[in-house]
Amino acid sequence: MNINYKDKRMSIVKNKLYDKLSNVFIEVIKKIKDESILLTDIYVSVKCDDLLLSIYDDSENVLFKNTIDEWAELKENADFEQNVIDSLRKVLNNESLIKEFESLDIDVPFSVVLVNDDHEPVEDLIMIDKDIIFLDDEFIQKMDRELDDFFEKLMSDVK
């Protein structure tokens, strides 16, 4: 019963976090529209020690900077940095938020990129291109395994 309470609590915490992050990105999109900023990328920086989220445009101008207190409860987990990346990805891959990004005056392909303290890219969080479909690593790995299995079965008949 204790585990059930903990799972329920964690679910509530994550939902609050997702709502907060969604609101942050909607606020950033509104600012981009209001200031008529033309973009090819948005850069996201997270300082895990102090839970600081910073979002920058192509020229490294700050679009948003504030702490995300909702990450504090996830900080107890062993892989906190991966939880941060996962939470950003989950929010950014929401269909309604992608439509908001597509409504911007952007050059495609457009991406939201996680960067380190030196503003060097760490990981693409989302990529938007109207003509190209981007496949994630998990899909490619699954296809690779399935092709290997197929080849093994095919070659077993030859032996």
Q: pLDDT value at position 135?
A: 57
Q: How far apart are CA 86 and CA 125, in angstroms?
A: 9
Q: Residue-wise over 86-107: b if at least 16 C-beta within 10 A, else e?
A: ebbbebbeeeebeebbeebebe
User: Model confidence at 2, in pLDDT bands (50, 70, 90)?
Assistant: low
Report domain extents, the chain.
2-131
* pLDDT: which is higher, 140 or 91: 91
Instruction: Write out pLDDT tens, residues 111-142.
Output: 999 999 899 999 999 988 765 455 566 767 78
- Range with lowest mean pLDDT among 68-72, 80-84, 138-142: 138-142
Alpha carbon distance 117, 100 (integer Å): 27
Residue 130: φ, ψ to 5°: -70, -20
pLDDT per residue as tens digits for the range 36-69:
888 889 999 999 888 999 999 988 899 999 999 8
Give the pLDDT confidence of 101-117 residue by residue, as tens digits: 888 877 778 899 999 98
